[in-house]
Structure 1
Amino acid sequence: MAQAPATHTQDGGVYFVPHDSKWPLFASVFLFLTMLGLAGWFNESSWGRPTFFVGIAGLCAILFKWFADVVLESVSGYYNKQVDTSFRMGMVWFIFSEIMFFGAFFGALFYARTLALPWLGGEGSGVSTNAFLWEGFSAAWPSAGPGQVGGDFQTIPAWGLPLLNTLILLTSGVTITIAHHALKAERRRQVLLFLGLTILLGCVFLFFQVEEYIHAYRDLNLTMGSGIYGSTFFMLTGFHGAHVTLGTIMLIVIWFRCLKGHFSKENHFAFEAVAWYWHFVDVVWLVLFLFVYVV
């Protein structure tokens, strides 16, 4: 790699400035293709599905090359304390944005269950909407909404697979913490072992979630078309599953980086960032388990 560009800070330090990169432009193009293809797919256009998958494949390739450049810059020693601080602040704000992302979905669940459903049942209104607009509607949760959109369905018991998945994620939070402490103690084999266990637990979680979805569609008639309950259930659990998938991919990348000896006990923010993200995923699942499955 060519000599790294740098700029001087007010205290006389040197701050790494990356080279001009073509990856943001290419990523924007493939992201546009992805969303265009998804819109076409939803509208049953013949070109929609292939365009979507071309966009996804292109995004994956771009991200691989882009992060490879960042890793190369890191192992080449270009990053100093100030760059490390910038990365940390960036990860903090990224996780904060994810909190707001899930907060919006939990807010939708709260609104539907606590506000909209009682109003449709006639609560707090001089006019009984269930009598005049939706005769026979019962404001009871879980609900397919007025008109029983999607038909009758059954919910998934909290104390089956959801509880098992909760224990799996809690255990994965322990294993990644042990791996982190092992990294700081420079016990490489222990790092690889417990990081590998974390990856395995993430994969098992995803396997059981797929099994749960199959059971919901095949046996319980619980689908994304099952009114407001089906929509919020699959929206929350589905996006969480997508985050677990992303987190597992990140863990796999970090495992290979640990295998190649990229991290030291003083310099391993990439490991810490993935650990922060994984703990965030754990906490979201605990909230989801409580408000979607239990309450």
Structure 2
Amino acid sequence: MSCPDFIIIGAMKCGTSTLATQLGQQNGLFLTTPKEPNFFSDDDVFARGLHWYASLFERAGTQDIKGEASTHYTKLPTHPHTVTRMRAVLANPRLVYMVRDPVQRSVSHFIHEWSERRMSGNLDSALETYPELVEYSLYAKQIAPFIDAYGIDAICLTSLERLKTNPADELARIAHHIGFKGPTQWHSELSTQNVSAERVRKLPLHNLLVDNPVARSLRRALVPQSLRTRLAKSRQMHARPTLSPDRIAALRAQFASDQTRLSELFPDVIETDMKREVS
């Protein structure tokens, strides 16, 4: 039964889609479609069974290194069974965990959920209402169960900041960790994937009115592209939400001990730019 050799386990809104796209462009690396099966985390997906999960890797070549990328795997306490389920199936996977400045991740997370109509209002009120905006930025806490299960050497910690600063070298470092022996190439012509600022807020009955194939065909036939573009842009969050200095300071205080712990666990990776104040 075919199973992954490596998994990008998160974190959400830290560049995992871009990394998965770049890895998928390398000859000898295979990533699943969909990019995020969320098999070990989501109860309804896990209920599909291991044969369904294994089928996602059937198109891989016999010599390919196989992987997937599911950010739900580092979403405690929302998905508490991930590591237990993974440990029962995968003996020694190579794991990649992407992080970024924790405050900026929380902001991007809010924009993502706002576009999906799962959160509304302003960012300040959302931080009070939705604890996951903070919880998913507690990177040391999220990665701890994987360290306990597989050991710290199984985990490659990277960051959005590192990928932006030196993409080719960082891609090569990650590829080496997952066991890829060939040379890697960063494809700069590929756009950054899943950018929060470009997301369009879903309409009520979105699946019926927008994602429905019949509605999509009618829209393309009857509505000019220029008008469709204007309508989409009207549903974007044009200004990135800002936080007051007091709120930023409070968040930094919440993240401080976790960031210190992460620095102790991965001293060669955590950089000063991940701890800088948001201007």
TM-score, normalization: structure 1? 0.27
Higher percent of residues as strand: 2
Larger radius of gyration: 1
TM-score, normalization: structure 2? 0.28
Higher percent of residues as helix: 1
